[in-house]
Amino acid sequence: MSTRTPITELPPAAATPRRHTLEDILRFVDPVPADEMERFVAAIYAERRASEMHPTAR
């Protein structure tokens, strides 16, 4: 059984054969409150700084 979304259930902008702009794609993204986005970005940068201070061997 497939778990893929049938093409008929996709947003109209994603189901057209034309090229998509960033605005077309973002039209279907649920925006988050600014403070939540700031916490998310701060967490990413904190994680990046921590990994630079303590790099792991690859």
pLDDT score for 1: 47
- Structure-model confidence comparison of residues 49 and 25, the more confident one: 49
Q: What is the pLDDT of residues 16-29, one digit of tens each?
A: 677 778 887 777 77
The phi and psi torsions of 34 (rounded to 5 degrees) equal -60, -40
The full set of domain ranges for the chain reads 19-58
Amino acid at 3: T
Q: Which of 36, 20, 19, 18 is nearest to 28 (CA)?
A: 20
- Beta strands (DSSP E) in 3-55 are none
